[in-house]
Amino acid sequence: MSTLSMKVMKATLAIGVTAAAFAPVIYTPSTYAAEVTGTVISSTPPTAGSTPAVNKLPKVEVIATGGTIAGQSADATSFANYRAGTLLIADMVAELPDKNKIAQVSTYQFGNSGSSAYSISDLYDLSLRVDQALKTQDGVVVTSGTDTMEEIAYFLDLTVRSSKPVVVTGSMRPWTVIGSDAQANLFNAIKLAASGKTKYFGTVLMLNDEFHAAREVTKSNSYRTDTFITPELGALGYIDEDGVRVYRAPARALLPASTWNTPFDLSKLNKSNLAKVEIAYSYQDAGAGAISSFVANGAAGIVTAGTGAGGISRAMSAERTAAIADHNTMFVATTRTGSGSNYSTGKNIIAGDNLNAAHARLMLLLSLSFSKDFDTIKGWFDTYGSAQVSVPEK
Ligand code: ASP
């Protein structure tokens, strides 16, 4: 077992811990963050001790939030029995072989927790931290748990102002087991960020030697290492040895630099103005209660995960109509099928195109944080929320 895995880590158990032996303790990441953040640790000092060749390599900061990738397993063969969010990123990067051949790597411990423990307010802080890092770095890697990684990645995609590469990664097996995907994923994420090939792509998600557009990717299996897929449309590219192969680009990369940025500039938004948006899931004869409870609890918007092309049950539909009439609640219609678009629209109802419900919820949450106007928000969904490609007349 490695030195790192032998170390007794000062860490708090995170939710998402799979071991019955480890009773999960949930803590507020921002509280913990105060203990561990604020220090950028350079594992590749740019001057002293480095060769001139190393000094010319791109600078990549790894911002860590925890997850299985920072997991300490019960023993070397416990693939599913581990403490997520335990190891520190500076130690993990220090263990990574050959990193000095691909980048000048520094680390920043944002928090150390399972992905589901983070609030939207924490993601606001994370996004600002990514932009701060990109003022001096050529790329950023964010490590996180995989459970809500597609949401963390899409939140960053919609909010980070810099066009430099942002790569989100994690792993399905903890750092300390045999055959872990953790080291390879971290190494390849740094390689991808350093390559510069995803500049103007927004945030991409990289696991299992593949990278995907944050807007389109989804976790498809709770244990397999090839869990991340982009339904129907496929990955953007692969990382094979030295070859970072890009086979397609997100629609966003085709936009001119002047319109590339979304309207969601968090530096101009007070955190307390982040809107509350929830998701209501429809199914055969889905009953009343979900939508009205969300509205009663202060939701300004609701995404429906409907059957087929966005249909919802009669009881849900009646509650939606009442919420729009009585509270001006904004709705986005998505499909629970896992892929495909939908076109159900109406007063205060926006078609979520092919966004899945979790992604549409973030798009609506940010939209409602910056505007209350239906037409403005609908316009944002049709542009920044859509990934459809249109090529101008030649
Ligand atoms: N429970 C973990 C998390 O999302 C799972 C993982 O990282 O794969 O943080």
Residue 206 alpha carbon to ligand 1 centre in Å? 15
293 and 190 in a common domain: no
Residue 109 pLDDT > 50, yes or no? yes
Residue type, 260: W
CATH classification of the domain holding 189: 3.40.50.1170
**Which of 68, 72, 151, 172 is the best mutation target for the ligand 1 pocket, counting ligand atoms within 8 Å of the beta carbon and taking the most?**
68
Strand partners, 85: none
Residue 15 pLDDT > 60, yes or no? no
Flag whether 253 is in a domain.
yes
Ligand 1 atom closest to the Cα of residue 17 is 1
Give the residue from 64, 106, 105 showing the smallest Cα distance to 85.
64
CATH classification of the domain holding 324: 3.40.50.40
248 and 175 in a common domain: yes
* Residue 388, number of CB atoms within 10 A of its CB: 10
**Which of 22, 82, 115 is the best mutation target for the ligand 1 pocket, counting ligand atoms within 8 Å of the beta carbon and taking the most?**
115
Q: What are the helix (H) ranges across the chain?
A: 3-6, 29-36, 52-55, 89-95, 120-134, 149-159, 182-195, 257-260, 290-296, 314-327, 357-370, 374-383
Tokens of 321: 């109509």
Residue 222 alpha carbon to ligand 1 centre in Å? 9
Residue 40 pLDDT > 90, yes or no? no
* Residue 317, number of CB atoms within 10 A of its CB: 16
Is the CB of 88 within 6 Å of ligand 1? no
242 in Cβ contact with 187 (< 8 Å): no
Buried b / exposed e across 12-39, counting CB within 10 Å, b at 16+? bbbbbbbbeebebeebebeebbeebbee
231 and 101 in a common domain: yes
Is the CB of 172 within 6 Å of ligand 1? yes
What local confidence, expressed as pLDDT, does residue 30 receive? 36
Residue 67 alpha carbon to ligand 1 centre in Å? 5
Catalytic residue of the set 37, 65, 68, 148 = 68
Residue 354: give the domain boundaries.
275-383
Is the CB of 115 within 6 Å of ligand 1? yes
Flag whether 122 is in a domain.
yes
Phi first, then psi: what are they for 168, rounded to 5°?
Answer: -100, 135
Is the CB of 111 within 6 Å of ligand 1? no
Flag whether 391 is in a domain.
no
Is the CB of 113 within 6 Å of ligand 1? no
192 and 74 in a common domain: yes
Flag whether 392 is in a domain.
no
Residues 233-276 pLDDT 10s: 999 999 998 889 999 999 999 888 899 999 999 999 999 999 99
Residue where a domain stops, chosen among 259, 286, 307: 259
Out of 141-155, 269-283, 335-349, pick the least confident: 335-349
| pTM given for the model | 0.89
Integer CA distances (angstroms), 182 to 91, 132, 143, 393, in order: 13, 26, 10, 45
305 and 220 in a common domain: no
Residue where a domain stops, chosen among 197, 225, 259: 259
283 and 249 in a common domain: no
Residue where a domain stops, chosen among 259, 290, 317: 259
Flag whether 112 is in a domain.
yes
E strand or H helix at 200: none
Whether 335 sits among the annotated catalytic residues: the reply is no
220 and 343 in a common domain: no
88 and 222 in a common domain: yes
Q: What is the mean pLDDT of the chain?
A: 88
Residue type, 172: M
What's the rounded Cα separation, in Å, for the pair 25 and 34? 18
CA 92, 97, 103 angle in degrees (round to 5)?
85
Number of domains the chain contains: 2
Ligand 1 atom closest to the Cα of residue 172 is 8
- DSSP-derived secondary structure letter, 146: S
Residue 42 pLDDT > 90, yes or no? no
**Which of 12, 113, 147 is the best mutation target for the ligand 1 pocket, counting ligand atoms within 8 Å of the beta carbon and taking the most?**
147
% of the chain residues with pLDDT over 90:
78
DSSP secondary structure string, 288-318?
A: SSHHHHHHHTT-SEEEEEEBTTTB--HHHHH
251 and 284 in a common domain: no
9 and 110 in a common domain: yes
Flag whether 394 is in a domain.
no
DSSP secondary structure string, 105-142?
A: EEEEEEEEE-GGG--HHHHHHHHHHHHHHHTT-SEEEE
Is the CB of 170 within 6 Å of ligand 1? yes
SS3 230: coil
* Residue 303, number of CB atoms within 10 A of its CB: 29
Of all protein residues, whose CA lies closest to atom 3 belonging to ligand 1? 145
369 and 232 in a common domain: no
What local confidence, expressed as pLDDT, does residue 36 receive? 41
- DSSP-derived secondary structure letter, 269: S
Flag whether 270 is in a domain.
no
Tokens of 74: 């019960």
Is the CB of 342 within 6 Å of ligand 1? no
Residue with tokens 């996180």: 144
SS3 210: strand
What local confidence, expressed as pLDDT, does residue 9 receive? 37
Strands 237-240 and 243-246: antiparallel
Flag whether 388 is in a domain.
no
What's the rounded Cα separation, in Å, for the pair 158 and 252? 11
Residues 190-213 pLDDT 10s: 999 999 999 999 999 999 999 999
Is the CB of 367 within 6 Å of ligand 1? no
138 and 74 in a common domain: yes
